[in-house]
A and B are shown apart, each in its own frame.
Chain A
Amino acid sequence: MKITIPHIHKIEGEAGFWAKVTKTGEIEELKFQTLLGLRQIEGILIGRRYFEVPIVVSRICGICPVPHILGACTAIESALNVKISEEIILLRKLLLAANIIHSHTLHLFFLSLPDFFNIENDLELLKKFKKESKAALRVRDLALEITRIVGGRAVHPITPIVGGFTKIPEKEKLKQILEKIPQAIEDANLLVDTFKKIEYPEFERETLFASVFNGKNYPYYLEKIVKIGEEKFTFSDFYSVQIEEDLKSPPVKKVKFRGKAYMVGAIARIKNNGRFLTKNSREKFEEFLKERKIKEKEYFKNIFYNLFSQAIEVLYFLEVCQELLKEILKMPLKKEKPEIKFHPSSGLSALEAPRGTLFHYYEIDKDGRILNCNIITPTAQFLHNIEEDLKDFLPKILRLKKEEQIRKIRSLIRVYDPCISCATH
């Protein structure tokens, strides 16, 4: 028997699914296949000037340009020893938190939620979930507004550059945003409740979860340690020694950790750093466990809970934005232009994008041009994990009608929130 979904809609980018199953229910072949062409972003960057890099890598992805821009800027700054002020770091954190909120909200509400109610068109969803969709749109609008105020534009922000920003946001505008956050938190609570009530499919498979880690808080911007399973590595050791990119399956370089599949993203961050959530978001998480009568350990065996993890993060990062805004407003905001001197050097960065840990690596020559670069995206890291899950999941749904099978496969793939533009770049 063959199960084919030539084009899976409602994910970022284009992809399909193929599987061949024997009569006895054994999987002969299973593939989650990307359908986009290779744009060769890394190759294109070779020989280009350092300041073009954020402009170019932004175009890897229309939904998460911010982590690519910041990943590139921070890796290049690390190579060239550029000193970045506290104000700039806080503004960058604000921008990244806002990106996680708007990406998660879009995915949760418009891409994944309809799967649980057999809704095939988002316009129907808007009718059926009037109150909830208004709340989701309001949260998303606020995150986009933060991106516009700090970044100059929502899709492909303009202001973040190597060394800081071309333009510093006006305090008055930041104040207006701060005033809107309590409403957004109320809306996010409604979203969390919506995702608390969903009937998630029963599914169990253990896997490894990776994210940045510091043992003090819930980190997402520039960290030096990556935690995977119970092991910790420096980010450069993890990037250069522990994981391996598959160079034989173009156009995506799928990644494994010591030959094993692993998971990154919201559920991985909560696994590794969940005890450092805010009081409010931690309580919501614990309520979920209590109501479902499951232990925290069991939560991380069901990949469908990645959705609830994203909902928790929307709430968490809104509270982060609130704190960041308060801090930023206390500071004297002025445009800075740190000195940038070229010398042959290299730099690596690791930060948390909406879908998980993102690595950017650059080598720069004496004139400030790029000699070599490499970008490892979250989706490239979890593609193996999707396939492993599908291999476990498929035998359990073979009894269902074909349409229902396809619906279930699609919904499993979508809870990962794969970003195919990022994976192929």
Chain B
Amino acid sequence: MRKPKVALFSLTSCEGCQFALLDLGEKFFDFLREIDLIDFSLIEEIPFPKGKVEIDVSFVEGLPIKKEEINLLKKIRKESKILVAMGNCAALGGIPEMKNYQGRERTIRYIYKKLNVENPEIKEIDNFVKVDFYIPGCPINGEEFLKYAKELIKGKIPEFPQKPVCSECEHQGKETCFLRKREPCLGPITLAGCQAICPKNFQLCYGCRGILKNINPKGFLETLKKFKSPKEIEDNLEIFGIKDDIEKFLKL
């Protein structure tokens, strides 16, 4: 039987999602044995072909900041039956998107006072190409990747359960819940699947996996503004690039 052709690409990013996969160790190498690996520059040497390549599933990490990256992204789309945005940067703009809220000219001038440096507005990859599936998180959860990747390589687009982070959180309903302590945790409006790893480690959820599709976050955000100033809440929404998604909701 023909093995499915799979590729993993990295645009500008920390490459942490790739490492989340490598960190699976043997489990990830077992996955690689089931597929025909077309490109994954971290573990192989063969250049990505300039000509026609047929790919069943491409996973794309990071953001296109350079023009060459936009061209590569478009080529990946052209050659791939299924294109998957892998991780918070590709799916939601991630940490680099904070720049958009600050005024791009302001931010770059702290680094290069005069020089012209490629400094586009940060846009998620679905602003450039059609994306068939999103694997959220900063970084992605390796086990979750494997679960969805196994369906994707069969040509199926998996269903993504719309459940909040709280549904996986050990503090839910307990005294230790951040919200009970009037701390602005974004768990109730954020997509589960991370096993509530931040609250479990006594860190607030900052929504790196994105907002649930089946809710309107307006009421919840109003509640948070009773705990902290609107500016503080807004700052929290900016960290992982979800502020623009929230604004879309609020306009509806």
Q: Does A405 contact B (CB under 8 A)?
A: no
* Nearest chain B CB to A7 CB, angstrom units: 6
**Measured CA separation A166–B202 after assembly (Å):** 6
Q: Which residue of A lies closest to B115 (CB)?
A: A250
- Known contacts A14-B10, A141-B25; decide if A9 and B98 are in contact (CB<8 Å): no
| Residue contact A9 to B44, C-beta cutoff 8 Å | yes
* Nearest chain B CB to A35 CB, angstrom units: 7
Chain A: number of interface residues, binned into ranges: 35 or more
| Residue contact B198 to A158, C-beta cutoff 8 Å | yes
Q: Does A326 contact B (CB under 8 A)?
A: no
Q: Which residues from A are CB-within-8-Å of B20?
A: 62, 154-155
State which residues 124-181 of A face B: CB under 8 Å. 126, 137, 140-141, 144, 152-156, 158-159, 161, 166-167
How many A-B pairs fall under 8 Å by CB?
Answer: 175
* Interface 0/1 of A24-66, CB less than 8 Å to B: 0000000000011111111110111100100110011111010
Q: Does A247 contact B (CB under 8 A)?
A: yes
Q: Does B156 contact A (CB under 8 A)?
A: no
Q: Which residues from B are CB-within-8-Å of A304?
A: none
| Residue contact B29 to A123, C-beta cutoff 8 Å | yes
Q: Other CB < 8 Å A-B pairs besides A10-B41, A62-B18, 16 of them?
A: A9-B45, A37-B64, A37-B65, A39-B95, A40-B110, A41-B95, A43-B99, A44-B107, A48-B235, A61-B14, A152-B197, A154-B19, A155-B23, A247-B112, A247-B113, A251-B117
| Residue contact A39 to B115, C-beta cutoff 8 Å | no
B99's contact among A12, A44, A60, A424, by CB below 8 Å, is which? A44
B12's contact among A6, A36, A46, A250, by CB below 8 Å, is which? A36
* Interface 0/1 of B6-35, CB less than 8 Å to A: 000011111111111011011001001100
Q: Does B121 contact A (CB under 8 A)?
A: no
* Interchain residue pairs with CB less than 8 A apart (19): A9-B42, A12-B15, A36-B65, A40-B107, A41-B95, A42-B111, A43-B108, A55-B239, A59-B138, A62-B18, A63-B19, A152-B200, A154-B20, A155-B17, A155-B23, A158-B198, A158-B201, A372-B110, A421-B15
Q: Which of B46, B110, B118 has the most CB of A within 10 A?
A: B110
A158's contact among B19, B33, B68, B203, by CB below 8 Å, is which? B203
Q: Does B126 contact A (CB under 8 A)?
A: no
